[in-house]
A = this chain, B = another copy of it.
């Protein structure tokens, strides 16, 4: 009998979308393209020699364990270390409250699988991180957007959404948020708003999924206390990661949650991949314990700050005043808003790619189809020199748009 694949796929597959970002990575990863697209850390900043030395020691001293399977919930020493780190940030937790995951994306996937049933409303930031929204949607969650402004997610708007849902007899399962230097806007939610949103969570009985990969990459000032540290009802599930502050190539993230949640997450993780890589977990533990991870963090904060400042400087020089952009105090992302009379951002992107510059147009970060005139710029990967070049080239495009000229393409030029 001839095989028809489409009839074989499970119905859940229809809910899974390929990321728009991934879709054009093949294009933007050509070395001649200056890319503000991906939120990858700068590979030049990886502490390669220190890592190489640590791995040699690790394999010599504990290779029997570092190369073997490891418990599903993660290496106990690393979990103990992470719990101590979280306690320093005001979160009451022990090693037993931590699950090590293969990066934050696996954390988002496991938590969505644990909590989200098809048709469940889930509060998300508008705009929100695509990978988090995707994990929720692939479990059938229906995003309900809460607008993010310069003070973060807005509790008033959230309350309006909650009472609308209430009238339909619905409660959201959770609110998914990146409260610090948000992906994609770069905004940080104020402490006042965090407290108000926690109150709403308690009143309306939903959970908060706090995703914090960037909080430690802070260029000036301080960040507010985490939702998790303000949480008195165990409503907050916290996700952290070593991908941005250290290296992503070993896939080490973690979840902090209530005991019953952790127990179920371990069961789900067992079925998902048995365990995360032992070598990577022990490497992180060894280097974090010896202070290398913190040392590395101080160093890269200085370096990323230079890039951010270069981006701001060049945007100021080359972007016309009608283009707005955020000025985040940390993280990797700047959010750009074009005026309505500009062409949509995906069109601008097409012209940019012809001039060998890439960014991400913003619509994919919205659950409601808005954001046609927005874009995410990441300054983490290009060099200061390339930031200058790339933004200047975009400046030329904007000048052409302002002069109402047809934007020059590779063909008609």
Contact = CB atoms under 8 A, between A and B. Distances in A.
Which interface class (under 10, 10 to 19, 20 to 34, 35 or more) fits A? 35 or more
Given A46-B67, A205-B1, A250-B277, A138 B11 contact: no
Interface string A47-77: 0100110011001100111111111100000
Contacts of A316: none
Contact of A12 (B43, B113, B272, B275): B113
Nearest to A4: B205
A63 B46 contact: yes
A251 B239 CA distance: 22
Given A59-B51, A115-B8, A277-B250, A18 B270 contact: yes
Contacts of A5: 258, 260-261
Interface string A231-258: 0011100000001000111110000001
Contact of A69 (B115, B117, B248): B248
Contact of A272 (B109, B120, B280): B109
A403 interface: no
A276 to B, nearest CB: 7
Interface string A314-338: 0000000000000000000000000
A106 B48 contact: no
Interface string A327-355: 00000000000000000000000000000
A131 interface: yes
A250 B271 contact: no
A163 interface: no
Most buried by B among A8, A41, A70: A8
A60 B72 contact: no
B64 A60 contact: no
B205 A3 contact: yes
A389 interface: no
A207 B272 contact: no
Contacts of A3: 205, 207, 233-235
Contact of A249 (B258, B270, B277): B277
Given A16-B271, A249-B277, A271-B134, A10 B116 contact: yes
Nearest to A247: B67
A70 B249 contact: yes
B271 A135 contact: yes
Nearest to A1: B205
B9 A114 contact: yes
A232 B395 CA distance: 56
B13 A248 contact: no
26 contacts: A1-B202, A3-B205, A8-B207, A10-B117, A12-B113, A17-B267, A38-B69, A41-B68, A43-B65, A43-B68, A46-B67, A48-B59, A52-B55, A56-B56, A67-B249, A70-B249, A102-B273, A102-B277, A106-B273, A109-B272, A131-B274, A248-B278, A249-B278, A250-B277, A250-B280, A251-B277
